Amino acid sequence: MGITVTQEQKIIRARLGLLELAKQLGNVSQACKIMGYSRDSFYRFKELYDKGGELALQEISRRKPVLKNRTEIDRAVVELAIKQPAWGRLRDHEALSECRIRHREYRPRVETMPSAAHSDDVGRDPRALLCQDAFLTPSRPPVVEWFANLTNPSTRRAYERAIGDFMRFTGIARPEEFRTVTRAHVIAWRDDLARRARDGSTIRHRLAALSSLFEYLCDKNAVTHNPVKGVKRPRAQSGQGKTLALGDHQARQLLVAPGKHTDPGEEEAVKDIRDRAILSTLLFHALRRDELCKLKVKDFNQVRRGVPYFKVSGKGDKTRYVELHPGTNALIHDYLEAAAHGGAENGALFRPLKNNRTGHLDKALTPDAVYRLVRGYSAALGFEIGAHALRATAATNALDNDADIAKVKDWLGYANIATTQLYDHRKTRPEDSPTFKVAY
């Protein structure tokens, strides 16, 4: 006579089998795929087994969720997250439980989480959790490891702002609390950004930063899923960039603005010669201000097939070669002769002319200094713009004069031609508007 196996024993055996298979394979995802369980279920089984042994595994309810209640549950979670963004997961769970609304993703680990009301980390700057220097040990959290892997300083600053804002909104104080984030929290954060008058591009960028973090955490098996997936992002306003391009007459005025008021018999100042070379470099070569500041003297002396080039270090440590315009070439030669640092090949090409703090003048101009330079000359001419407007002007002018858009893409240092199309205003030129075709 065979031994009768109860339904509870079958459940325990299956779950023990899952835990043992994951241990043998050393891979939770693969074990779950073979056994037909989710990773969330695996971690719940493991937690119960560690606390109460085999018998604890049969206590998990096998009831299926009522799908029609999901809308009500998500709405309640979103409303609570908006009303009390800094409460933390435990207090959210308690408040929802009082209303007899329970979210399945709140229950697995909520008992082991510290209360936000009594945590020693409340009020702590979120950036402290993301500083790569604070966790230089093999056991540092994956959140910190992801942030330390961002090599570009600009990307690091932008992602720091995005993740820090999300942590403040949700009340996250420890890296491990990212495991409890649900899609409802991401939706609430997105809606809060909109209420704070953040534009669509900012919201898309911040959601992208958060999604990048969770993708990394998923790869490291630190979380079970990416809650940003499925969250709708604001659509782009239009297919054109926000940065306005100058007209040809404005660009010509800007090129001759430095030294405009110098008397004919007076010797030109080095600053005027340098500033003309900078404006010409930006307007004829569409460099980013950061790229301009990185230029060294030797990067200006590049020659390929007898043609002078700029060697440009762009975003993502990508190097590209940009043909040097004859007018810019002459202006830079004049500047190096006047500034007398043309022999320092490894030195910065464009340098400050005074330094009241250290007195050293061998460092490169900062991007902020280039911005202020362009801002000052353009404001004096009656159209105040930033340095990026000169990049947009160069790209727009090249496309208006029938430059191949694929070559313009490489010239600008873009990986996607769709980004280049933001500067393509050929279809929206004022002179082609139907407004001026109307005749009465």
d(CA 334, CA 336): 6
Q: Which contacts (CB < 8 Å, 24+ apart) does range 246-254 have?
A: 246/383, 246/385, 246/389, 246/390, 246/393, 248/397, 250/381, 250/383, 251/283, 251/393, 251/397, 253/381, 254/279, 254/283, 254/377, 254/378, 254/381, 254/390
- Would you give the distance in Å from CA 317 to the centre of its chain? 16
Instruction: List phi, psi (to 5°) of 194.
Output: -65, -40
Confidence of residue 199 (pLDDT cuts 50, 70, 90): confident
Residues 6+ apart with CB under 8 A from 115: 88, 90, 91
pLDDT at 238: 54
- Residue 127 tokens, joined: 């950036």
Closest among 146, 220, 217, 134 to 179, alpha carbons compared = 217
> What CA–CA distances, in Å, run from 337 to 68, 301, 323, 330?
76, 14, 22, 11
Confidence of residue 173 (pLDDT cuts 50, 70, 90): confident
Q: Are the C-beta atoms of residues 352 and 369 closer than 8 Å to each other?
A: yes
The β-bridge partners of 320 are 312
pLDDT at 261: 67
Instruction: List phi, psi (to 5°) of 62.
Output: -105, 15
pLDDT at 336: 92
- Residue 419 tokens, joined: 């980004």
pLDDT at 185: 92
List pLDDT tens digits, range 212-259.
999 988 888 888 889 999 899 888 655 566 677 888 899 999 999 998
Q: Are the C-beta atoms of residues 282 and 412 closer than 8 Å to each other?
A: no
Closest among 374, 202, 358, 388 to 290, alpha carbons compared = 388
d(CA 135, CA 129): 9
Residues 6+ apart with CB under 8 A from 104: 65
pLDDT at 372: 93
List pLDDT tens digits, range 342-364.
888 899 999 998 876 766 778 88
pLDDT of 111 above 50: no
pLDDT of 51 above 90: no
List pLDDT tens digits, range 255-271.
999 987 666 656 678 89
In the predicted model, what is the mean pLDDT of residues 83-100?
Answer: 58
Q: Work out the percent of the chain whose per-residue pLDDT is above 70.
A: 75
List pLDDT tens digits, range 120-155.
344 445 544 544 443 333 455 677 778 778 877 778
Confidence of residue 278 (pLDDT cuts 50, 70, 90): very high
pLDDT at 266: 60
d(CA 153, CA 210): 17
d(CA 111, CA 95): 14
Closest among 354, 391, 380 to 279, alpha carbons compared = 391
pLDDT at 118: 35
pLDDT at 423: 75
d(CA 249, CA 235): 35
Confidence of residue 273 (pLDDT cuts 50, 70, 90): very high
Burial track 184-200 (b if 16+ CB lie within 10 A, e otherwise): bbbbbbbebbeeeebee
Provide the 10 A C-beta neighbour count for residue 345.
Answer: 12
> What CA–CA distances, in Å, run from 287 to 216, 342, 416, 423?
32, 21, 17, 14
Q: Which of 41-55, 89-103, 416-430 has the highest mean pLDDT?
A: 41-55
pLDDT of 206 above 90: yes
d(CA 214, CA 212): 6
Angle between helices 28-35 and 7-25 (to 10 degrees): 140
